[in-house]
Amino acid sequence: MKRLLLALCVLTGCQKENAPGEKATPPATALEAAAIQAGVIPDPNSTDITGLYVREADRVCVVPSATGYRIGVTVDYDDREHCGATGVVTRSGETLHVAFDTSRGGGCSFDARFDGDRIVFPGRLPAGCQALCTEHAAISGLALDRLSESASEASTLRGPRGTLLCGDDVHP
């Protein structure tokens, strides 16, 4: 009977119960912590966000400024459909607080996620963010991987109209 119970427990994935007051550690968190400690993945809390992030024709630049960081984004579907914006970004752990300048009302501020080598914009953004884009282009849901950690390389990113998005002459 004991063998049958042990076999059923193994087959159904029985788990150790936590003692009262003891918090369960999700396996992914423990695995991620071990990978960070081993140096397999970067620690997003101690990794500088400066750099150039890319996915296909989508680009984001982040460079240090006197008050934090400047950020620029460009999305290029074609000659008629594109996005381009500059703004500021501040950081709190893995959360990036992004505020893009908009020429029309509404504003475009949101929280993005940073995991050490990747920036992910939320799928839903404030309505004012659409003012940064033409036609059907959008910046929502962008997921970009770091291409470079170089501030000088990131500062050369140009928008749809050829303007520098993170260069020294940008004052968001």
Q: What digits encode the pLDDT tens for the residues 25-57?
A: 445 577 767 776 776 766 666 689 999 999 999
- H-state helical runs in 41-162: 151-154
Structure tokens belonging to residue 49: 């966000």
Q: What is the mean pLDDT of the chain?
A: 81
pLDDT at residue 75 tops 70 = yes
Q: What is the pLDDT of residue 22?
A: 46
170 closest CA partner among 61, 86, 92, 45: 86
* C-alpha distance across the termini of the chain, in Å: 72
For position 28, what pLDDT does the model report? 54
Q: What is the DSSP string of 3-49?
A: HHHHHHHHHHT--PPPPTTPPPPPHHHHHHHHHHHHTSS--TTTS--
pTM: 0.73
